[in-house]
Structure 1
Amino acid sequence: MRQNPSFAMTDVAELRRLIDRNPWMTLVSHTSDGLVASHYAVLLDDGRDDLTVVGHVGKPDDLIHGLGERELMLVVQGPHGYISPGWYGDAPSVPTWNFVSAHLTGIPEVLTPEENLRVLDRLVARFEGAMPEPRMMWERPNDAPFIERLERGTVGFRLTPTKVVAKRKLSQNKTPDVVETVMAELSGSGPYANADLAAEMRRAHEAMAARRQEPGI
């Protein structure tokens, strides 16, 4: 992902928020047969306050990716959407795409079966907890032998990234009135309405405005 300073995303708290809100990630690694990619849910490591994440892959994806042996990239995709040149007013312009994304790269650590079980339990709790009648991993009709078989079919990992490239392209290079127009269009009912992206833009631009009001800035 090509980086440029005006769109760079470096704040750890913001990156943790991006990861937490967008757990469905793409895992990419380079093998002797070329690039391979898989898709899994990944969570922040609840024992750390940095960008360390935990997750699992189903066998034999661990072998395909060389889990624990070579570099792995996690692609985190936040809100994104089409931006029409018509929203920029009467000025030369072309279509673009606003987005928030991060690439976390490093060599993952393979978890023990006990650690993997804990990650699997956290994953179920994270997403099942929103259901009206949650079915947690250790609850009936699941039993211990079933859970043990489940664990044996997966391999857990912990990744502390050694390289992070993150980008938040949210019309920072546009005038305030154009930004307001773009957010209004995204919040509307047109073919490219995107409430999540509009909210992310609003949040980012309000934070930038607040920073500009700080003494010495």
Structure 2
Amino acid sequence: MRQNPSFVLGDIPEIRRLIEQNPWVTLVSETADGLVASHYAVVLDPDRDDLTILGHVGRPDEAIHELGSHELLVIVQGPHGYISPGWYDDNPAVPTWNFVVAHLRAVPEILGDEENYRVLGHLVEHFEKRMPEPRLMEGTPANAEYARRISSGTVGFRLTPTRVTAKRKLSQNRPAETVERIIDQLENGVEYPNPALAAEMRRARR
């Protein structure tokens, strides 16, 4: 991803927030057979305050990705959307796309079976805890037995990025009144409503 100094996202807490709010990521590996991409949910490592993430792949994706033998690219995609030049002013302009994204790169650490099982439990709890009656992996003996059996079909990993490229392109290069007009269109317009992107633009202005 080409970086632009005007749009650099270098704040670790903000990148952590991006990951927390957009956990469905793309995993990309360059293997002996060419590029491979998969999609999985990840969570931040609860024992770290950096950008270390925990995740898993289903077998045989670990073999297809050659997981652990080379660098893995993790793409985190946040809110994004079309921006019409009609939302600017009367000067000549072209359409664009606003977005928030982060690329995390490193050779992932492959987890042992027990740690993978704990990570799977943490993953389930992370997403299930907001449910009125959470169904946790070890919530009942039957659940625990099933979870133990099914976890053998997964391979867990921990990735502490050695290279991070994060970008927040949210019309920061436009005048304040233009940004407000774009936000209004994203919040109240009928053609391309996108409240999540509008919220990111307001956050970037702060």
Partner of 2:194: 194
Q: Which amino acid aligns with 1:25?
A: V
Match of 1:142, SS state, is helix
Query: Would you say 1:28 and 2:18 are equivalent positions?
Result: no
Q: Matched residues in 1 for 2:95 and 2:141: separation?
A: 52
Q: Matched residues in 2 for 1:186 and 1:141: separation?
A: 48
Q: Deviations over 1:163-194 (max 9, x none)?
A: 10110000010000000000000001412110
Question: Structure 2 matches for 1:1-217, cutoff 5 A?
Answer: 1-140=1-140, 142-206=142-206
Q: Matched residues in 1 for 2:191 and 2:142: separation?
A: 44
TM-score by length of 2: 0.97
Partner of 1:213: none
Q: Deviations over 1:54-81 (max 9, x none)?
A: 0000000011111111110000000101
TM-score by length of 1: 0.92
Match of 2:142, SS state, is coil
Match of 1:200, SS state, is helix
Q: Matched residues in 1 for 2:149 and 2:88: separation?
A: 56
CA 1:142/1:80 → structure 2, altered by over 3 Å: closer, same or farther?
Answer: farther
Unaligned runs of 5+ in 1: 207-217
Q: Which amino acid aligns with 1:19?
A: I
Unaligned runs of 5+ in 2: none
Q: Deviations over 1:130-179 (max 9, x none)?
A: 22222111123734432222111000000011110110000010000000
Q: How many residues align?
A: 206
Q: Cα RMSD over matched residues?
A: 1.1
Q: Matched residues in 1 for 2:68 and 2:145: separation?
A: 27
Tell me if the contact between 2:137 and 2:144 (Cα under 8 Å) persists in the aligned partners. no
Q: Matched residues in 2 for 1:53 and 1:117: separation?
A: 15
